[in-house]
A and B are shown apart, each in its own frame.
Chain A
Amino acid sequence: MAQALQRAMRDAMAEDPAVHVMGEDVGTLGGVFRVTDGLAKEFGEDRCTDTPLAEAGILGAAVGMAMYGLRPVVEMQFDAFAYPAFEQLVSHVSRMRNRTRGALPMPIVVRVPYGGGIGGVEHHSDSSEAYYMATPGLHVVTPSTVPDAYGLLRAAIASDDPVIFLEPKRLYWSKAEWSPDAPAAVEPIGRAVVRRAGSSATLLTYGPSVPVCLEAAEAARDEGWDLEVVDLRSLVPFDDATVCASVRRTGRAVVVHESAGFGGPGGEIAARVTERCFHHLEAPVLRVAGFDIPYPPPMLERHHLPGVDRVLDAVARLQWEAQS
């Protein structure tokens, strides 16, 4: 996936001289996850820039660059190190278009490696999507597959609005039948996709939890459940149509994500589904999420992250008896 993301930036930079990549260690080193590897060499340090170590400064400078017509792609080194930039994000990036009546759109992409499961010490495993979702004016997207990583990042860079691009860091090393020579067509931001068709219940998920849900769906076959897995891909905008079509078909839904459940994305998603599909639902929409705790140390993270068992337990609680 790291390679697909890098290819997306390379193609965008080659096509449009306004695209600039910047962040900590993105140049010579190619980023701590090597996602920007080679870009500085190919496009020069003015197009792929090692910045001083200051997230607020990086994003604030990106705002000014965007005002002057550039399209900055900013890398935040890790989820929890993006927090110093929240001031710029919330006070300026997200509302600049609105407060200037469209005069100053903010075509900025903020790439954030996020999520746990890589054994990182504290501040290296946060799932911060709820904060971004709660800020109107931002797009929030997250790929779960290699082709999507390419397609979504191309779409994000092409977008004239700010996009928080959440990269599930434990999927960086995932491989796929994907050739950098024939990248998939770029889909617009905002479409969910059915990753696995099924009829008994729908698992609504995104990013790092997609592979977990696909595995759970396979395991569920033994229990006689045929689970559909919907990969949301974009949290803002939200694809009500694809989600509701699935839930109406299956009549049951579980939302799965690793970020904390309370005040988390699952609550919003469950509410939307309930509002739109109430008469089609055979059971309340359930949530499987990380516990409501600060991300735990690596030696305990497996107890925190929602795994296959926890997903299956939730599926089992979907009031199957009531159906007959």
Chain B
Amino acid sequence: MTVQELPGATAYPAWKLRTDPAPLLPDPEPYRVLGTEAAAGLDRELLLRLYDALVHGRRFNTQATALTKQGRLAVYPSSTGQEASEVAAALVLEERDWLFPSYRDTLAAVARGLDPVEALTLLRGDWHTGYDPRESRIAPLSTPLATQLPHAVGLAHAARLAGDDVVALAMVGDGGTSEGDFHEALNFAAVWRAPVVFLVQNNGFAISVPLAKQTAAPSLAHKAVGYGMPGRLVDGNDAAAMHQVLSEAVRRARTGGGPTLIEAVTYRMDAHTNADDATRYRADAEVEAWRAHDPVRLLEGELTGRGLLDEERRGAAAEAAEAMAADLRGRMNADPLLDPMDLFAQIYDVPTPQLREQSEQLRAELEAEAGR
């Protein structure tokens, strides 16, 4: 009995491929531009903009890491080494688009224009989200992995229903792709042809677990084919390549072409967070090898080679980054003004009688404490 003879088979056989998988398949070599011939055609202004953003981003990472050592941040999951992908994700979006970052993507939020202090409240510990997601069009940094991906799909779907050409760009780590939410989000997005771009930053590890223990897929980008969307592998340290591939995916999404899955191949230069001891699970030699492929140096090399980066321009970028770092340091060194009564703010639209009672209890405790 052939499949076609199965009861319930309709005119279009269920077993027949619905899409030719070939165009969906990623090129197994990560896409690169910097250092190749293709780089000659790159827009000078764009490269310089990326350069400024990378220098700024690197400084943001080193400053935030320093703040953990001073006890000013509870924790910081550094994206040092991943700046090209973080920054490109922010720069390819229009103002009306939405970014759905994971907990490691503070830099993407900052590169999108968010005040660094507001972006860091979650990690400082004064509030869970220190900015207005509607105003910034940046969803709260998601701590539970991959759970923000279905949100991105829903928002993009809703925008399309409303007739708005808004795109959602959702970020997740290599480890996060193992979660059920990742699968469900990709499937929904493909079935609904939602204007979403999924950006996986494959930085080699999920805390201590290397990619080989995370997936047996040829690459994470290959997963796209199973959902019926194109997958793209990119050198995540190549800012120009990241910008190109992301721009193309955003354009595709905006013009009704549906979602894309992009895997940025990169590396986490620091430990998982400042609380982690990376020497337990990886060798220094590996880290050193990646240092030679540093995103800032890569772009700098390209710009210098083409005579686009003089000392003045380099100095200006460094200076701007330093000013941001000094401002961040200064403002983070002040204790945030916190009102313990805020514990009861915004639990519900209208507080329950029980919460009113509990807030009165806390108020009395605070007064007693102050009177002591």
Contact = CB atoms under 8 A, between A and B. Distances in A.
A237 interface: no
A165 B121 CA distance: 32
B74 interface: yes
Nearest to B122: A121
Interface stretch (B59-67, B123-131, B152-160, B241-249): B123-131
Interface stretch (A186-194, A210-218, A298-306): A298-306
Contacts of A52: 175, 178, 209, 213-215
Interface string A51-74: 011111100000000000000000
A292 interface: yes
Nearest to B75: A121
B144 A83 contact: yes
A81 interface: yes
A80 B144 contact: yes
A99 to B, nearest CB: 23
Contacts of A27: 208-209
Contact of A299 (B125, B178, B208, B366): B125
A81 B208 contact: no
Contacts of B213: 50, 52
A32 B336 CA distance: 29
A303 B127 CA distance: 14
Contacts of A298: 74, 125
Contacts of A75: none
Given A80-B144, A297-B128, A53 B365 contact: no
B14 interface: no
B179 A29 contact: no
B355 A292 contact: yes
Contact of B281 (A29, A124, A299, A300): A29
A24 interface: yes
A309 B358 contact: no
B344 interface: yes
A25 B125 contact: no
Given A29-B280, A50-B208, A121-B125, A300 B340 contact: yes
B304 interface: no
Contact of B342 (A55, A119, A300): A300
Nearest to B179: A54
Interface size class of B (residues with CB under 8 A): 35 or more
Contact of B365 (A123, A262, A310): A310
Contacts of B281: 28-29
A299 B126 contact: yes
A174 B121 CA distance: 30
B144 A25 contact: no
B143 A121 contact: yes
Interface in A290-318: 291-294, 296-300, 303-304, 309-310
Interface string B192-230: 000000000000001111000111000000000000000
Given A28-B280, A121-B74, A303-B362, A53 B344 contact: no
B70 interface: no
A84 interface: yes
Main secondary structure of the interface of A (DSSP, over half): loop
Given A24-B206, A298-B125, A291 B74 contact: no
A228 B330 CA distance: 50
Interface in B108-160: 121-128, 143-145
Contact of A291 (B121, B175, B343, B366): B343
A122 interface: yes
A297 B126 contact: yes
A122 B143 contact: yes
Interface string B154-186: 000000000000000000000110111100000
Contacts of A262: 354
A300 B178 CA distance: 33
Nearest to A54: B178
B365 A309 contact: yes
Interface in A254-288: 262
B207 A24 contact: yes
B207 A32 contact: yes
Rank and list the top 10 A-B pairs by shortest CB-CB distance, nearest first. A298-B125, A29-B208, A52-B178, A53-B175, A303-B340, A123-B143, A53-B178, A54-B178, A122-B128, A299-B125
Interface of B: 74-75, 121-128, 143-145, 175-176, 178-181, 206-209, 213-215, 276, 280-281, 336, 338, 340, 342-344, 347, 352, 354-355, 358, 362, 365-366
10 contacts: A24-B207, A24-B209, A28-B208, A29-B281, A53-B209, A84-B179, A123-B144, A262-B354, A292-B347, A303-B340
Given A84-B180, A292-B354, 11 more contacts: A30-B280, A50-B213, A52-B215, A57-B178, A84-B144, A292-B347, A293-B347, A297-B122, A297-B128, A298-B125, A300-B338
